[in-house]
Amino acid sequence: MKTLVCTTPGEFEYQEGVMPELTPGQAIIKINRIGICGTDLHAFEGTQPFFSYPRILGHELGGELVDFDDAPGFTKGEAVTFIPYFNDGTCIACRSGKPNCCTNIKVFGVHIDGGMAQYVSVPSYSLIHGEGLSADELALVEPLAIGAHGVRRAGVQPGEFVLVVGAGPIGLGIMEFARIAGAQVIAMDINQNRLDFCKDKLKVHHTINAATHDADAMLRQITNNDYPTVVIDATGSLKAITNAFQYMAHGARYVLVGLQKGEISFSHPEFHKREATLMSSRNATRADFEHVIASMKKGLVDPTNYITHRVKFDEVKDNFASWLDPKNGVIKAMVEL
């Protein structure tokens, strides 16, 4: 079977891979959709933490269940996706109901080879029923689950102002699920085209271009000088993460969904006087995947809006580098097999 390997930063190579054979506790999936994630882009440019090369990228996937062992309720040939964070089931995080941050976690396409291949083998416990969703939709469940998990971590309540910094695909998902939770969403970015997308497609009423406007003044105006009670970063930019500490209301929660390699510093007095809460949000849980699928089936979110670029598997190598250029307006690139 054909695979696409990121051999070193900036380099892809199509290779012949070995067809997976069914083993105990595993399932084999024929891949038909691959969503391109920020993690994939960062890995390609060499800025992704927890990463080594060579690596087959890809963890936003939809496909057809070819064969399986120990997967009650599933049938061969059905459309599926899966939770691409494989946990050991025994560590302190797993025993505490947080398999998404297992101490020995293996993220598909990050710690181990992923889904840029015609067939993959995954643990049967990770399977998710397609529930009648399209191939595109199934490949978009995982990034939306990341956003849903961040919103759940924040404990978003109806009516409160939620500032989402970063209007990429993960940020868009955060906005969607903050809206579903009843929040008043504020989108902040430095890319006006993405902010226009938030207004036009996601119906986000409040947008702030931090590159061209006084973000602090606009936040005070929008929130009647209260500032947002929830701030969620989806940029992975150290500058953006640091700046957002000043945007918190007193008593606010700040959730870091985006990830960058360095250290974070902030004013202890400013943070302390707010009695603020700082949290990270890693991956997602089955409950988040189920929330996303239910929301999609109810029509509360339509992630196919995010797809701006579409290529065949054989075209990925020649197109991938262009998706890093903001001028090309990529929100979500989708690969078809």
Position 173, amino acid: G
Dump pLDDT digits (tens) for 191-218: 999 999 999 999 999 999 999 999 999 9
Dump pLDDT digits (tens) for 232-269: 999 989 999 999 999 999 999 999 999 888 899 999 99
Residue 147, pLDDT score: 97
Contact 38, 46 (CB under 8 A): no
Is a pLDDT exceeding 80 seen at residue 48?
Answer: no
pLDDT category of residue 38 using cuts at 50, 70 and 90: confident
Query: Rounded to 5 degrees, what are φ and ψ at 189?
Result: -160, 175
3-state helix, strand, coil in the chain (%, to 5): 35, 25, 40
The SS3 call for residue 128 is strand
Distance from C-alpha of 97 to C-alpha of 65, rounded to nearest angstrom: 27
Q: Is the alpha carbon torsion for 326, 328, 329, 332 positive or negative?
A: negative
Query: Average pLDDT over the chain, rounded to whole?
Result: 96
Position 97, amino acid: G
Is a pLDDT exceeding 90 seen at residue 297?
Answer: yes
What pTM was computed for the model?
0.95
| Least-confidence region, from 41-45, 117-121, 283-287 | 41-45
Residue 262, pLDDT score: 85
Distance from C-alpha of 83 to C-alpha of 79, rounded to nearest angstrom: 14
Is a pLDDT exceeding 90 seen at residue 310?
Answer: yes
- All domains of the chain in start order, with CATH: 2-130+303-336 (3.90.180.10), 147-280 (3.40.50.720)
Distance from C-alpha of 50 to C-alpha of 35, rounded to nearest angstrom: 20
Distance from C-alpha of 251 to C-alpha of 293, rounded to nearest angstrom: 32
Dump pLDDT digits (tens) for 1-29: 999 999 999 999 999 999 999 999 999 99
Distance from C-alpha of 317 to C-alpha of 301, rounded to nearest angstrom: 31
Residue 51, pLDDT score: 81
Length in residues, the chain: 337
Is a pLDDT exceeding 80 seen at residue 50?
Answer: no
Mean pLDDT over 271-298 rounds to 97
% of the chain residues with pLDDT over 70: 100
Helix 169-180 and helix 192-202, axial crossing angle in degrees, nearest 10: 30
Dump pLDDT digits (tens) for 127-164: 999 999 999 999 999 999 999 999 999 999 999 999 99
Helix 135-154 and helix 169-180, axial crossing angle in degrees, nearest 10: 70
Residue 327, pLDDT score: 87
